[in-house]
Structure 1
Amino acid sequence: MVSTRIAARALDFGVIRTEFALSEDYPADAVEQARSAVDANAADRVDRTDLPLVTIDPPTSMDLDQAVHIAKTDSGFVVSYAIADVGAVVVPGSALDIESRKRGQTFYFPDGSLPLHPRELSEGSASLLPDQVRPAALWTIELDATGEPTKFGVARALVRSVARFDYQGVQAAAAAGTLHPSIAALPEVGKLRSEAAIARGAIELKLPDQEVVGSPGQWTIELHPHTEADDWNAEISLLTGMCAAKLMIEAKVGLLRTLPPPDREALQSIRRTASALGVTWADGRPVGELLAALDPNSPASLVLMTEATTLLRGAGYAAFDGQLPELIEHGGIGAPYAHVTAPLRRLSDRYATEVCLAVSAGTDIPAWARDALPELAELMRGSDSTANKIDRACVDLTEAVILANRVGEKFQAVVVKEADGKRDADVFVANPPIAARCTGKPPEGQMVAVELAVADVAARSVVFAYSG
């Protein structure tokens, strides 16, 4: 973790909440329904509290959607992945259901979250907290020795997590050879799935995330690089989403997360950038394979991966019932995919999981889930757009506050995108870790000195200048 450790003066993220008309307050009747929620499918559950599941989440998270157990077998692996069964505790048409549909997902701010469901539910009775018996949708996925699924299904179960871990802890335990037995095979399965992703043409970017962290009066920007543990855990979630998509496609009913294949013009652009940076790209080599092989710490890699974000535009949702949509694949994953692993934080997962449970069991899909699919596609598009804008607004505000008293100072920056006549260049300053526009014509892929020209808190704007 790279930290600025630069204290920002008091930041008011409430301004951003107001801008997006967001409130943490739930209607009183919805809160009461969350407090008194009961498992509507208790009679249908298999008792799997014998399975020593564990959770892997950020250290402060309480809304734990997923718990995992991986067993190594003579022929491969068995992945058990328990997902909080929100569909069993939210009554269709209730005040709780109506309010969660308005929100679409949990919105995250540096000073707290605005949850999809009241905390009594999302961080309490439905969360897969350790040593608590919980209702879950339990996926069982059998993999061969190469990590490819050979058999899978999902069923309602009672589960109990035996331990909770965070990504850094898992990474450290893996390096020390002390991983919990339930996830001892996670690195092996994660690597196999990552190799399979490259083989099927997936595009996985290893760009570090800018994060606003701290407390009032001490907010900073930190650069959070993706660790192997992040990637291993993500591969289990992706695997489950791909299995869910297969179930729904075979049944010809469901909700897919889609992304068009990379645009030809965007591919040509990234190839030109690679050539200018001296990165060898053999003819016929898939772009995902090239990106996976890059050193994530080099300036050239940062430039190429930033450019590669243009390959992942146009994400959406495709609802279908009876006839498959024209686009069923997710171009970034290289396969059909569905969101099913985060129902405490994302509305669509509750409905997609309900479809998968019915298809897997050979029973009728509940009307409340089936009838909502077309509306969900549009609802989630809007919710995702809001979440992305909130993330960007919080980072932009913090950047402007941190730099407000440093206008005129010089910084070292990597030029990640040169000016093209239509817009300024983009640069990345390492300390503090800030991405911003830059006037002038700095050379792409180079480390240059830039001067801070603008740090406007009210406009949430930071601009650097390059004079050559």
Structure 2
Amino acid sequence: MPYSHIGVRSSAAQQKLAQALAALSHEFKLPGEFDPLVLAEVDHVIAGHQLPAPDLTALPFITIDPPTSQDLDQAMFLEREGDGYVVHYAIADVPSFVPAGGPLDGETRRRGQTIYTPGNRIPLHPTPLSEGAASLFANDPRSAFVWEIHLAQDGTQTSARVRRATVQSVAKLGYEQAQKMLDAGTAPPAYAGTLGLLAEIGGKRIELERSRGGASLNVPQQEVEFVNGHYVLEFRPGLPIEDWNAQISLLTGMAAAQVMIEGKVGILRTMPAPDDGAIAAYRLQTVALGKPWDADVAYGAYLRTLDTTDPKQLALMHAATTLFRGAGYTPFNGTVPDDVLQAAVAAPYAHATAPLRRLVDRFVLAICAALCAGDDVPGWAVDALTELPEIMNASNQLASRVDRAAIDTVEAALLSHRVGTEFDAVVLAGPKKNGHTTKVGAARSSIQITEPAVTAYCEGDLEPGTVVRVKLVAADIGTRTIAFAPAQ
């Protein structure tokens, strides 16, 4: 399905939009340029950096990312082993570039993660590192933490270890590019096997996810892009290769969690199971919208049956967010906590595959490599465990707020010249129980229009899953406000 790019047509609106987006950094107090001391340390570390002795450059790793990405955290090489498989998954070796206790270490703890705004990014690390020396570019030898994960025929993990090694990617692929190569059978011999096995292993890992009760919330992604000098908004349905690629990352995160649990030291990404009330309420919604959730079907398996091109099922996918709440980070040292599950994954899980963009992964990788080698875990990694949850939770909340503000701003700009226009919309949810209102006493429902790709609120108590005709009554770029009312 092609992407739907809808640009801002009015030059005045485009200018006002650019100003509003530029102001997000000030509004949310986002970090600015890196301090000269940080940059000097990065230059010094890069100049003296040594590649690790284990040489895996003969393995044809590839990266698969959004086409414009330059901070490449992961590269993979997949091969058969008897009737099973071996997953070689290389992760950028960020720990070797960040001296413990130095200026860069302190600055990354202040930032927590890379934050994205349309046409801009506030990186966790300076670009000479994140888009240079540590990024897994094609045809450049790079230091990496390389996971070697052995799988049985059905895709279940039989063993896993991680170590530092030198790798070299042979290709930087975008998602669409990789999908087209796979579908057409046109991938070069160097990595055709990896692409074919990605589909095979990814499919089997999805089946295992279903069987263990895991869940993926596959809501079409609403994204802001900067294309040819203009901001655009799109709904981007995920490609199959993105799902398979995500399964390799999930597999690695699960392997990292297992290593740390066995070693009794580390930090997990945890989330409680949905409470009985949330499940009961969601089951009622599935019945009301004509797609009942059978009691003997796990919620993850049920969500994978939803067709988001159907209005009622799209509403159910959005409503399923009520089941995905309470995620956090759980550190431990010496005693494994009782609650180690990430309920959506339905297994213990850790963030371990994006150290260029997320702080906690750097510590997880260092801990896992030490445990696999039988070495002492670095003291700097252990000492950070208690503060990482607060840092990551705060940065996750900030990133979410900035992302929502950017999308709201672009939506208002897209519609600013169309006040008074009527649209067809899908009702995603009725009024919330805590009483979201557009004015005193007035309920409002969540809706989605498709052209342009906008989600918003509409006055009235509307039936979820229905298609309704709505009228745009306000769209203000400065306040990020959009208001709809039922069309007469």
Instruction: Sort the TM-score into its range (normalised by shorter chain).
Output: over 0.9
Give the aligned partner of residue 237 of structure 1.
Answer: 249
Per the TM alignment, residue 420 of structure 1 is displaced from its structure 2 partner at its CA by: 4.8
Q: Is the 8 A contact 2:8 2:14 kept in 1?
A: no
Q: Any idea what the Cα deviations from partners look like across 1:382-411, whole Å, max 9, x if unmatched? A: 011101111101000111111122222111
Give the aligned partner of residue 361 of structure 1.
Answer: 373
User: Are residue 19 (structure 1) and residue 27 (structure 2) matched?
Assistant: yes
Give the aligned partner of residue 184 of structure 1.
Answer: 196
C-alpha distance in 2 between matches for 1:52 and 1:387: 34
Q: Is the 8 A contact 1:455 1:463 kept in 2?
A: yes
Identify the match of residue 394 of structure 1 among 380, 399, 406.
406
In structure 1, the gaps of 5 or more residues are: none
Distance change in 2, residues 1:397/1:216 (3 Å): farther
Give the aligned partner of residue 270 of structure 2.
Answer: 258
Q: Is the 8 A contact 1:9 1:217 kept in 2?
A: no
Per the TM alignment, residue 325 of structure 1 is displaced from its structure 2 partner at its CA by: 2.3
Give the aligned partner of residue 452 of structure 2.
Answer: 432
Per the TM alignment, residue 41 of structure 1 is displaced from its structure 2 partner at its CA by: 8.6
Per the TM alignment, residue 44 of structure 1 is displaced from its structure 2 partner at its CA by: 5.5
Q: Any idea what the Cα deviations from partners look like across 1:76-100, whole Å, max 9, x if unmatched? A: 1100000011111111111111111
SS at match of 1:158: strand
SS at match of 1:345: coil
SS at match of 2:425: strand
SS at match of 1:62: coil
SS at match of 1:348: helix
User: Are residue 409 (structure 1) and residue 411 (structure 2) matched?
Assistant: no
**AA partner of residue 169 (structure 1):** Q
C-alpha distance in 2 between matches for 1:41 and 1:153: 24
Give the aligned partner of residue 14 of structure 2.
Answer: 9
Structure 1 stretches of at least 4 aligned residues deviating more than 4 Å after TM superposition: 38-44
Single out whichever of 59-68 and 285-294 deviates more from structure 2.
285-294
Identity %: 42
SS at match of 2:151: strand
**AA partner of residue 145 (structure 1):** Q
Per the TM alignment, residue 458 of structure 1 is displaced from its structure 2 partner at its CA by: 2.0
Give the aligned partner of residue 445 of structure 1.
Answer: 465
C-alpha distance in 1 between matches for 2:106 and 2:431: 47
In structure 2, the gaps of 5 or more residues are: 437-443
Per the TM alignment, residue 30 of structure 1 is displaced from its structure 2 partner at its CA by: 0.8
**AA partner of residue 350 (structure 1):** R
Aligned length: 468
Identify the match of residue 143 of structure 1 among 151, 160, 169.
151
Alignment of 1:139-288 (within 5 A): 139-179=147-187, 180-181=191-192, 182-215=194-227, 218-288=230-300
**AA partner of residue 186 (structure 1):** L
C-alpha distance in 1 between matches for 2:117 and 2:23: 11
Give the aligned partner of residue 70 of structure 1.
Answer: 78
TM-score under structure 2 length normalisation: 0.93
**AA partner of residue 45 (structure 1):** A
Q: Is the 8 A contact 1:40 1:88 kept in 2?
A: no
Q: Is the 8 A contact 1:24 1:115 kept in 2?
A: no
Give the aligned partner of residue 46 of structure 1.
Answer: 54
C-alpha distance in 2 between matches for 1:226 and 1:43: 36
Q: Is the 8 A contact 2:64 2:175 kept in 1?
A: yes
TM-score under structure 1 length normalisation: 0.97
Q: Is the 8 A contact 1:442 1:466 kept in 2?
A: no
**AA partner of residue 415 (structure 2):** L
C-alpha distance in 1 between matches for 2:286 and 2:51: 58
Identify the match of residue 483 of structure 2 among 459, 463, 466.
463
C-alpha distance in 1 between matches for 2:89 and 2:323: 30
Per the TM alignment, residue 217 of structure 1 is displaced from its structure 2 partner at its CA by: 5.9
Single out whichever of 212-221 and 346-355 deviates more from structure 2.
212-221
